[in-house]
Amino acid sequence: MPGLLRGVARTAAIAGTATAVSGRVQRRQAEKFAARDANIYAQREQAYEQQTAPQPAPAPAAPAAASTDDVLEQLQKLGELKAQGILTEEEFAAQKAKLLGT
């Protein structure tokens, strides 16, 4: 009987040790893979945000220095469009401010 108990005790100790080591290895691998998966997720999220982020509108080109005659002609055309009812007072004022640079 003592030999049988010794064999059972040895088997239990070996099985317990193996289970503990196996559990530790599994936890370590799970942590490693969780960190890797979190990294991959963060990279994909960043790439998605870059793709869906609105692209900044290109800056409008600076108007070329217009001569006084050109500005007067454009103001006359705007006045005619306003008189015909095509432009509202607000639209006329906005276009006029653009032309005069104010």
Is 62 among the domain residues? no
Residue 32 forms part of a structural domain = yes
Query: Does some domain include residue 63?
Result: no
How many domains does the chain contain in total? 2
- 46-57 per-position pLDDT tens digit: 888 887 766 666
What global pTM score does this model have?
0.34
Alpha helices for 1-102 (secondary structure H): 2-52, 68-83, 89-100
Residue 8 lies in a domain: yes
Q: What is the CA radius of gyration of the chain?
A: 40
pLDDT digits (tens, 9 = 90+) for 40-92: 889 988 888 887 766 666 666 555 555 778 888 888 998 898 899 888 889 88
Query: Residues near 78 by Cβ (< 8 Å), separated by ≥ 6?
Result: 87, 92, 95, 96, 99
The range of the structural domain enclosing residue 81 comes to: 68-100
Identify whether residues 4 and 49 lie together within a single domain.
yes
